[in-house]
């Protein structure tokens, strides 16, 4: 890992010499940081709520290099270090962190260090939904234009561990979560906010905290930077009013924009001071769903002036998207199985449903009969399922529920079925399964030729799985075992 320590990172870390450092969380994002701190002989204590048994390989490896460990339930006790690097999953409002800061400790993170030392342009994306796909599209667009791209952040590998390989003409593309942004004091050269809706309210104190955390993606920008906002979303539209960047672009599928990218009569246009140019026909985007049209428009705005329209068109026609995001697993006996495990919120699950059964009467979208067998459930985020219930009643042929939030979703659907406006819809079969594998098998039994089995849980995976990737991979493994 010696090649990680470039000049800018050395300059930053040299300021830490003589200080005691705590790295909270020995996960993927912090491991490169721990290694480079130890490499420079900086006193480092690794704090993690997991046991020594669970972290055996890491503890053996780093103890040999001089690290100290504080593990288990009391991992945050006696937090007396001078500088604390927190893991994104630990909120800065945690009492132990707050008390340490009150005593004079500096609280920061791996991502904040990267923003300080990154030698190249940074394009970053956040939002409640669509941020991973939009981030991936931006990276793909830039690669196809011939740029050297470093993709990371909340997606893929940590960017800090690749900082030494970055050159001034490269571009770093980062997905940023609210948990990463909440303590950020620097913003990227290009900031993109896809949308905002209630999310992670089981962690954030309230919606205002969530909105404020997200705003850090653009709040510290310079005048010469660029900010891209969703005109169709009330919160992101208001964000634009306080953006310090002069180059503010909008994207919209509902209205024409003065500067940015918009959709009209099935055509995607780029507009600069009301002068428009055609980019492409929306129907040519290979990824299904209205939300992916929005994701592409956000990405087009982000790379405007860097990526040609020809490359934009070709990329949209060929790029098949990201694993676990409406990913076609297989087709068996006329039934298509889709893995949308990333859908850990009701709004994301709604977007997945609308990918296949569009309510909007648009010429570039084919309205299909209800044929979705939906698998939903998991651990809820403290967000209501009322809107999802109505969408399920309108768009789903059969519903298979599993996980701790199954009853909440069930009740929301039953309530929606009693809505007089929706009484004309076909009857909806609902099944509840205690076991995830049982749920997948049940969905398969309910599906007929021409149907779609969609895993779009509307919940986190943490009741049964360590993350949405494990949940999605388990789903794929079960589906691929069908004969």
CATH number at residue 146: 3.40.1190.10
d(CA 252, CA 77): 49
Are both 166 and 285 inside the same structural domain?
A: yes
Are both 169 and 294 inside the same structural domain?
A: yes
Full strand arrangement of the beta sheet holding 190-193: 149-153, 171-175, 121-126, 190-193, 226-230, 247-252, 260-264, 267-272, 275-281
Are both 277 and 129 inside the same structural domain?
A: yes
CATH number at residue 396: 3.90.190.20
Angle between helices 436-446 and 468-481 (to 10 degrees): 50
The model's pLDDT over 12-28, given as tens digits with 9 standing for 90+, comes to: 878 888 999 999 998 87
Are both 289 and 334 inside the same structural domain?
A: no
Q: Which pTM does this prediction carry?
A: 0.74
d(CA 124, CA 341): 23
Are both 60 and 140 inside the same structural domain?
A: no
> What is the residue-level pLDDT of the chain in tens, covering all 483 positions?
444 456 777 788 788 889 999 999 988 778 888 988 898 889 999 999 999 988 988 999 999 999 999 999 999 999 999 999 998 888 888 999 999 999 999 999 989 989 988 999 999 999 988 888 899 999 999 999 999 999 998 886 788 878 878 999 999 999 998 889 988 999 999 999 999 886 555 665 678 888 898 999 999 999 999 999 999 999 999 999 999 999 999 999 999 999 999 999 999 999 998 789 999 999 999 887 788 999 999 999 999 999 999 999 999 999 977 788 888 899 999 999 999 999 999 988 998 898 785 433 343 344 445 689 999 999 988 889 999 999 999 999 999 999 999 999 999 999 998 874 544 445 799 999 999 999 999 999 999 999 999 999 999 999 999 899 999 999 999 999 998
Are both 136 and 38 inside the same structural domain?
A: no
Q: What is the extent of the structural domain holding 6?
A: 2-108
Are both 34 and 89 inside the same structural domain?
A: yes
The model's pLDDT over 202-252, given as tens digits with 9 standing for 90+, comes to: 665 678 888 898 999 999 999 999 999 999 999 999 999 999 999 999 999
Are both 367 and 394 inside the same structural domain?
A: yes
Domain stops at, among 290, 318, 346: 318
d(CA 329, CA 323): 10
């Amino acid at each position: 890992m010696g090649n990680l320590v470039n000049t800018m990172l050395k300059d930053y870390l040299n300021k830490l010499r003589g200080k005691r450092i705590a790295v909270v969380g020995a996960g993927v994002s912090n491991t490169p940081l721990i290694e480079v701190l130890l490499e420079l002989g900086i006193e480092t204590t690794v704090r993690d709520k997991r046991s020594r048994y669970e972290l055996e390989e890491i503890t053996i490896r780093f103890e040999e290099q001089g690290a100290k460990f504080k593990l288990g339930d009391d991992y945050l006790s006696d937090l007396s270090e001078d500088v604390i690097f927190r893991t994104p999953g630990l909120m800065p409002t945690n009492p132990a962190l707050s008390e340490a800061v009150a005593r004079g400790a500096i609280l920061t993170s791996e991502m904040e260090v990267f923003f300080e030392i990154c030698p190249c342009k940074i394009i970053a994306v956040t939002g409640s939904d669509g941020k991973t796909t939009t981030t991936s599209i931006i990276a793909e667009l830039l690669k196809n234009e011939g740029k050297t791209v470093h993709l990371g952040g909340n997606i893929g590998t940590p960017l800090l561990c690749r900082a030494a390989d970055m050159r001034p003409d490269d571009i770093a593309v980062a997905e940023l979560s609210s948990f990463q942004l909440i303590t950020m004091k620097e913003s990227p050269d290009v900031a993109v906010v896809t949308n905002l809706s209630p999310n992670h309210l089981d962690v954030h104190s309230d919606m205002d905290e969530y909105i404020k955390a997200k705003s850090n993606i653009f709040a510290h920008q310079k005048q010469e930077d660029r900010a891209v906002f969703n005109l169709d979303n009330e919160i992101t539209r208001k964000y634009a009013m306080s953006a310090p960047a002069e180059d503010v672009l909008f994207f919209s599928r509902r209205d024409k924009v003065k500067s940015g990218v918009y959709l009209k009569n099935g055509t995607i246009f780029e507009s600069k001071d009301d002068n428009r140019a055609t980019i492409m026909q929306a129907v040519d985007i290979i990824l299904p769903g209205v939300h992916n049209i929005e994701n592409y428009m956000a990405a087009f705005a982000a790379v405007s002036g860097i990526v040609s329209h020809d490359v934009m068109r070709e990329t949209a026609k060929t790029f098949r998207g990201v694993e676990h995001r409406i990913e076609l697993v297989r087709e068996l006996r006329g039934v298509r199985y889709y893995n949308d495990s990333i859908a850990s919120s009701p709004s994301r699950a709604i977007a997945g449903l609308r990918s296949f059964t569009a309510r909007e009467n648009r010429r570039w979208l084919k309205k299909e009969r209800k044929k979705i067998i939906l698998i939903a459930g998991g651990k809820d985020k403290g967000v209501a399922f009322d809107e999802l219930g109505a969408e399920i009643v309108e768009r789903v042929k059969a519903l298979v529920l599993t996980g701790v939030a199954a009853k909440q979703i069930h009740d929301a659907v039953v309530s929606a079925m009693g809505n007089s406006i929706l009484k004309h819809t076909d009857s909806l079969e609902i099944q509840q399964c205690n076991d995830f594998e049982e749920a997948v098998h049940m969905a398969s039994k309910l599906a007929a030729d021409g149907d779609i089995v969609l895993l779009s849980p509307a919940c986190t995976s943490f009741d049964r799985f360590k993350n949405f990737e494990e949940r999605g991979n388990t789903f794929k493994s079960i589906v691929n075992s069908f004969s």
